[in-house]
Amino acid sequence: MTIIYYYSIIFDLSNYLRIFLNQYIKKFISIADFLGEILGSNTEIILHDLTNYKHSIVHIINGHISNRKIGDSITDLVLEFMLTESKGNKQYICNYNSKNIEGRLLYSSTYFIRDDSNKIVGALCLNSDYHDVKKSLSFLTSLLPNYVDDKIISLNNIKENLSSDPQELTLNKIDTIINQFNIVPNRMTTEEKTEIITALDECGIFNIRGSVQEVAKKLQMSEPSIYRYIKKIKS
């Protein structure tokens, strides 16, 4: 009689991602843990490996703030930072506003991790939950109607949406860029199509899987047409 043994393999994504992390990102794991101990449960700390857009999160503390987990993707703004800062020397961007999937206000900062060639390969992101603080500020402002602080105004300027859904992030970014042009898709000229697709390309939209299909729907164009414009822009 032949006996067949079945073995179950438990796949631990966090261990897998850590094993294959490069040296530049690995050393920030302990720094993230250190910051987590200092800043407490109202600040989310995320370490991104930006060589893998789709599963960039390799370490996370207080993930309840954005409802994200290890293996989730980067945000639209981090992707934009990669493209705009990749050739520069800026090490970090501090104190910009974001919101989580529930609409809670967050105060965010990003530190860029660069390799020896100055290429951005990772990011250490901090997102502090200031939703309750904003409510308190709104109450205080109502008591002092003639006093409006610049910081209070800036809390309404949301620059980043935190979500674990790559498609949602892609759609949000596409909508934001297209809305800036204030045009009717079915009346676009060739020049306008080129401008919009160039803007989308510069923000890294087409590096995200499924983005061409979504852009084609929004602009009422065929997918082959989108690819032709991308090819034309890059040539």
| Domains in the chain: boundaries | 13-162, 167-234
Least confident of 100-109, 160-169, 172-181: 160-169
Of 12-21, 58-67, 80-89, highest mean pLDDT: 58-67
Span 117-132, average pLDDT: 87
Q: Which letter does DSSP use for residue 43 in this model?
A: E
Span 164-193, average pLDDT: 76
Span 146-167, average pLDDT: 54
Span 183-199, average pLDDT: 86
Span 160-167, average pLDDT: 60
Residue 73 predicted with pLDDT over 80: yes
Least confident of 36-45, 83-92, 185-194, 198-207: 83-92
Helical residues (DSSP H) of 20-63, grouped into ranges:
23-26, 28-39
Span 125-142, average pLDDT: 76
How far is residue 189's CA from residue 117's CA, in Å, rounded to a whole number? 41
Residue 34 predicted with pLDDT over 90: yes
What is the pLDDT, as a whole number, of residue 28? 94
Amino acid at 204: G
What is the pLDDT, as a whole number, of residue 157? 54
Amino acid at 50: L
Q: What token pair was written down for 123?
A: 């990011």
pLDDT band at 63 (very low <50, low <70, confident <90, very high): very high
What is the pLDDT, as a whole number, of residue 82? 73
Residue 53 predicted with pLDDT over 90: no
Between the CA of residue 81 and those of 110, 121, 148, 192, 220, what are the distances in Å? 9, 12, 31, 25, 28
What is the pLDDT, as a whole number, of residue 155? 47
pLDDT band at 65 (very low <50, low <70, confident <90, very high): very high
Q: What token pair was written down for 127?
A: 């997102």
pLDDT band at 166 (very low <50, low <70, confident <90, very high): low
Asked if 193 and 216 touch (Cβ cutoff 8 Å), the reply is no
What is the pLDDT, as a whole number, of residue 4? 44
Q: Please, is 191 exposed, middle or buried when counting C-beta atoms within 10 Å of its C-beta (0-12, 13-18, 19+)?
A: exposed
Comparing 36 with 153, the larger pLDDT belongs to 36
Span 211-219, average pLDDT: 87
Asked if 110 and 124 touch (Cβ cutoff 8 Å), the reply is yes
Asked if 97 and 106 touch (Cβ cutoff 8 Å), the reply is yes
pTM: 0.61
Strand order in the sheet with 158-161: 57-61, 43-49, 120-129, 105-114, 92-99, 158-161
Residue 6 predicted with pLDDT over 50: no
- Which CATH architecture group holds 13-162? 2-Layer Sandwich (3.30)
Residue 10 predicted with pLDDT over 80: no
